[in-house]
């Protein structure tokens, strides 16, 4: 007789069991990847843009497997349309090139100005409808 499989939920990332579960899952993924010749080497980074001591914007990203992933990009409302986002993206792309990356990807929502990225050389490669409900989540890529 086969034993019943029990699935546990750890819904709070502050719970130490969450970190343990995440670590185990990442270890298993790493073991499988290494077995097929893929070595993950994720390196996170954060960028900030300032003027006269005031923070105008920031970008959170990482590089891994030859790709830059822009996870978050935000510009203070009073600093929009002044080149801050462009400066942050350019700095992230340069950092990624220095780390040996050949391409980049990011995602954004239709309410966050998806026409912005194509003006900077990014090409849309996918979308998820109703994310959030009634909206669209867009995915962009760029060769470095």
> What is 43-143's CATH number?
3.40.630.30
- pTM, rounded to two decimals: 0.88
Q: Which ranges constitute the DSSP H helices of the chain?
A: 16-35, 84-98, 116-119
pLDDT at 124: 95
Residue reference for tokens 């990203």: 61
**Contact (Cβ atoms closer than 8 angstroms) between residue 119 and residue 134:** no
What residue ranges do the domains of the chain occupy? 1-40, 43-143
pLDDT at 114: 74
pLDDT at 111: 87
For 75-108, give the DSSP string.
Answer: E-GGGTTTTHHHHHHHHHHHHHHHTT--EEEEEE
pLDDT at 93: 98
**Contact (Cβ atoms closer than 8 angstroms) between residue 71 and residue 58:** no
pLDDT tens per residue, the chain (144 residues)?
A: 789 999 989 989 899 999 999 899 989 988 998 999 998 889 999 999 999 999 999 999 999 999 999 999 999 999 999 999 999 999 999 999 999 999 999 999 998 877 899 999 999 999 999 999 999 999 999 999
């Amino acid at each position: 007789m086969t034993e019943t499989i029990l699935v546990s939920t750890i819904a709070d990332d502050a719970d130490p069991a969450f970190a343990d579960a995440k670590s185990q899952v990442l270890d298993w993924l790493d073991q499988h990847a290494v077995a097929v010749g893929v070595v993950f080497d994720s390196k996170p980074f954060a960028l900030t843009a300032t003027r006269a001591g005031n923070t105008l914007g920031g970008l959170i990203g990482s590089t891994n497997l030859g790709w830059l992933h822009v996870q978050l990009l935000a510009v203070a409302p009073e600093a929009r349309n002044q080149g801050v986002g462009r400066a942050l993206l350019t700095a992230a792309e340069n950092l990624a090139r220095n780390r040996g990356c050949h391409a980049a990807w990011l995602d954004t929502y239709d309410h966050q100005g998806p026409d912005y990225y194509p003006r900077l050389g990014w090409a849309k490669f996918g979308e998820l409808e109703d994310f959030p409900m009634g909206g669209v989540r867009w995915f962009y890529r760029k060769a470095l």
